[in-house]
Structure 1
């Protein structure tokens, strides 16, 4: 099988929300990935940078990115250090946090609309833009489900994926 050409990836993570895209209701448009192993029996989770716990790679879809899929793969690179190939579009998931939880992000923190993609990890790098503040770990479905229990919008993406649920 021919090896897929990977796009050039910066070693500098994007920060801030100057280029952030917003939806028609003012919601922040977020793109994320459910990175599965080749055998689809494990998912790669990363440590959250803002709170304790584990999450799926995700982040804002920015104005200079032509698609949510491209934004999702960029986020996977910046946060998890993986090159990935999109396998399936898992669709949209509305924000599940309460208004009170959202306000903890700041007085003007908007709700989010998530667009999820199932990806096949094609390569894991030893260093990546956020390696200094994030760890990554392959987990079984059961372990990932347990770790994502307090993040229903992430758990829904995992459930929509084709990970082996045994």
Structure 2
């Protein structure tokens, strides 16, 4: 599956200023329709996908699966195929931002836990690909969500 990657925009002066993260595109197929699990941010409450920092001893897909569990209570199969990248600015403080690039890995969700680490800090909800894409601010992520088709995964 090839999703056309949009150019990444980065408001930084040096490449070393950019941090890498791994994101989870959590999905399920219901009645032949793909649904994407979205979560809210802690501060603003806007809709995003689970994402987080690299972890020692874990592959990028395993890191994405770990974030899916911690932030959304999602358990499932993590594909090692990166779907694409998106850039965003992580707010550290009211006036401090950290430019990040997140690599997106698909996670086929098998179950959702009733209790998970960040359950009191976030909401989660299933959306169609089109609706999920319309909710995010990052154009690269919107394209990945809209164009995602699990039938092309190995």
TM-score (norm. length: structure 1) = 0.69
Contact 1:31-1:72 within 8 A present in 2 as well: yes
Provide the C-alpha distance between the structure 2 equivalents of 1:122 and 1:103, rounded to a whole number of angstroms.
Answer: 30
Question: What is the aligned partner in structure 1 of residue 71 from structure 2?
Answer: 79
The offset of 1:134, in angstroms, is 0.9
Identify the residue that residue 143 of structure 2 maps to in structure 1.
Answer: 156
Deviation at 1:94, TM superposition (A): 4.5
TM-score, scaled to structure 2: 0.74
* Pairwise CA distance, 1:153: 3.8
What's the offset of the Cα at 1:103?
8.0
Q: Deviations over 1:118-150 (max 9, x none)?
A: 1100111111000011111011122212211x2
Of 36, 39, 43 in structure 2, the residue corresponding to residue 43 of structure 1 is 36
* Runs of 5+ unmatched residues, structure 1: 1-23
Larger strand share, 1 or 2:
2
Is 1:30 the counterpart of 2:18? The answer is no
Name the CA shift for 1:163/1:43 in 2 (closer, same or farther; >3 Å): farther
Is the contact between residue 55 and residue 154 of structure 1 (CA under 8 Å) also seen in structure 2?
no
The alpha carbon displacement at 1:76 in A equals 0.2
CA–CA distance in 2 between the matches of 1:109 and 1:116? 21
In structure 2, the partner of 1:90 is: 82
1:133 correspondence with 2:117? no
Unaligned runs of 5+ in 2: 1-14
What secondary structure does 1:43 align onto? strand
For 2:131, the equivalent position in structure 1 comes to: 143
Change (3 A) 1:94 1:47: closer
CA distance in 2, matches of 1:118, 1:109: 27
1:112 has 2:117 as partner: no
Give the aligned CA root-mean-square deviation in angstroms. 2.4
The aligned residue for residue 57 of structure 1 is 50
Measured at CA, do residues 135 and 26 of structure 1 come closer, stay the same or move farther in structure 2, by a change above 3 Å?
Answer: same
- Contact residue 35 and residue 44 of structure 1 kept, 8 A: yes
